[in-house]
Amino acid sequence: MSERPRQQGSTQTFDVLIVGGGIVGLTLASELAGSDFSVAVVERQPPRPVSDTPECRVSAINRFAITQYRQCGVWQHPLAERAGAFEKMTVWDHQGAGQIHFDSAELGLPALGVIIENNVLVQMLFDAVAKADNISLLCPEEITQINYPVDDSDLPSVSLASGDAISAQLLVGADGVNSRVREAAMIERSRKSYQQQALVCNVTTRESHENTAWQCFLPSGPLAFLPMFNGESSIVWSLDNALAEEKMALSEEAFMVDLAEAFEYRLGEIETVSQRFLFPLTHGHARDYVKPRLALIGDAAHNIHPLAGQGANLGIADAAALAEVIKQARAKGRDWSAVHSLKKYQRQRKGANQLMELSMTGFKELFGNDNALLAEIRNAGLSLVDHLPALKYRMIKQALEG
């Protein structure tokens, strides 16, 4: 990590300024590590400590993302042992016999992906980025103001609580759903609530999770058991708001029984449960991903329902695409931060992300309905796809490779 001498009230200029040091922002930094771009990452919070007790905020990382992290040296970190590989996936409808099953062995792959705690992945990325001479990590550091100029001949900049300021050829918003970068650039964004919350926690079960990602579609919303490295399962249960509050109010014992019953005891009884948390579920899309000298990635640009576990993967793919676009433009001697260069990134990612958003919303509406006729159609569809290997593995291949 480059350490540039600074004086109070000084202004520094970088090629790329990334606002947000979460998974997506640090992924972009890792993609630019060792390049001829000077990069600053500004993040308000240091990485959450990694303890022996796993966190319940996890991400399902696909093979594309893992490949990118291997190429950037992130996956060589000792904490990669905390990634729990899942070799199989089973999805079924609570209201019928229809189900679909995926197996990595049938694809000739060692695994379909991994489940990893968010704070573990952030720490891995943070440590990898900190080694790069061309990257300055300003963390913890608070941004007090973001200046996005009307005249694109001027550079965007941020003012810091320390009294310093940073300007950059390219300002990247990787600062989440409530992006201040997006707001400063006056980019409109649709935002719709599913009127649901995700209840997350970790559990141990009587029977092994078998390195399988399990998902049951209930009328109240999908319930996923995701296999973790230590034999526990991470629970993501999408529930209507009122029902989510009811589940949170249950005692541990009552919740464990309720959870096991909802999951049809596929893994036997629930033996232990961690602290439970609720997170509101929304979806939406920015009107534009880019403006002159500005780009949005990850949740700053889009967010979707978690039922397919693709949110983090979409953001990681955004970061990889943006890095490749600006590298290629610079290599060809072009103005790599100009909007005509950045629109190549938007063309690559916006359509794919919108399709995923529409697909997840469609799945949510189709499966989150207790209509008997729809239940028959759902179950027939699941069974049909399960018996059409070419179609089934085309679907899973898209999820694996982004």
What is the DSSP code string of 21-69? Answer: -SHHHHHHHHHHTTSS--EEEE-SSPPPPP-SSPPS-EEEEEHHHHHHH
Pairing verdict, β 11-19 and 302-303: unpaired
Considering the domain architecture, whether residues 318 and 382 belong to the same structural domain is answered as no
- The answer to whether residue 199 is domain-embedded is yes
Kindly state whether residue 324 falls inside one of the protein's structural domains.
Answer: yes
- Give pLDDT tens digits for 249-277: 999 999 999 999 999 999 999 999 999 99
Q: Are residues 164 and 300 in the same domain?
A: yes
CATH number reported for the structural domain that contains residue 209 in this entry: 3.30.9.10
Tell me the pLDDT of the chain averaged across its residues.
88
Q: Which residues lie closer than 8 Å to 188 by C-beta, 6 or more apart? A: 286, 287
Q: N- to C-terminal Cα distance for the chain?
A: 30
> Do residues 257 and 303 share a domain?
no
Tokens 């060589």 belong to residue: 76
Q: pLDDT digits over 358-400, tens only?
A: 665 655 554 555 545 444 555 445 445 444 455 555 655 555 5
Domain interval for residue 336: 11-54+121-190+283-363
Indicate if 211 and 133 belong to the same structural domain: no
pLDDT of residue 379: 46
- Report if residue 64 sits inside a domain: no
Together in a domain, 183 and 197:
no
pLDDT tens digits along 166-176? 999 999 999 99
Q: How far apart are CA 19 and CA 17, in angstroms?
A: 6
Q: What is the mean pLDDT of residues 11-24?
A: 97
pTM of this prediction?
0.89
Separation of alpha carbons 383 and 387, rounded Å: 6
Pair 146, 19 in one domain = yes
Q: Is 309 a residue whose pLDDT tops 80?
A: no
Q: What's the rounded Cα separation, in Å, for the pair 128 and 77?
A: 8
Let me know if residue 70 belongs to a domain: no
Residue with tokens 């941020």: 158
Are residues 318 and 243 located together in one domain of the fold?
Answer: no
Q: Are residues 303 and 339 in the same domain?
A: yes
**Pair of tokens at residue 296:** 């949005």
Could you give the number of structural domains in the chain? 2
For residue 401, name the pLDDT band (cuts at 50, 70, 90): low
User: Would you put residue 307 in left (φ > 0), alpha (ψ -120 to 50) or beta?
Assistant: alpha
Which pLDDT tens digit goes with each residue over 80-134?
Answer: 999 999 999 888 887 655 678 888 888 788 899 999 999 999 999 999 999 999 9
Lowest mean pLDDT among 12-26, 33-47, 231-245, 344-358: 344-358
User: What was the pLDDT predicted at 311?
Assistant: 79
Task: Supply the pLDDT for residue 220.
Answer: 82
Region 355-359: mean pLDDT is: 69
Which residues, including other chains, have CB under 8 Å from residue 59's CB and lie 6 or more apart?
23, 115, 116, 118, 121, 309, 311, 312, 313
Q: What is the DSSP letter of 109?
A: -
The band of 212, judged by pLDDT with boundaries at 50, 70 and 90, is very high
* Same domain, residue pair 171 and 202: no
CB 85 within 8 Å of CB 211 = yes
Segment 324-353 mean pLDDT: 96
Burial class (CB in 10 A: 0-12, 13-18, 19+), 182: buried
- State what percent of residues in the chain have pLDDT above 70: 84
Tens-digit pLDDT profile for residues 143-157: 999 999 987 779 999
pLDDT at 52 over 50: yes
Q: Can you list the pairs that 259-262 forms with residues at least 24 positions away whose Cβ atoms lie under 8 Å?
A: 259/203, 259/235, 262/94, 262/216, 262/218, 262/223, 262/237
Are residues 24 and 126 part of one domain? yes
Cα–Cα dist 368/245, whole Å: 18
CA distances 145 to 160, 172, 290, 306, 349, Å, are 7, 15, 20, 32, 28
Both 108 and 234 in one domain: the answer is: yes
217 and 269: one domain?
Answer: yes
Q: What share of the chain is helix, strand, coil (3-state, %, to 5)?
A: 40, 30, 35
C-alpha 267/C-alpha 86 separation (Å) is: 15
Give the integer Cα–Cα distance in Å for 400 and 402: 6
* 3-state SS, residue 11: strand
Instruction: Say what the pLDDT of residue 18 is.
Output: 98
Q: What is the per-residue pLDDT across 311-333, written as a single tens digit (0 to 9) for each?
A: 799 999 999 999 999 999 999 99
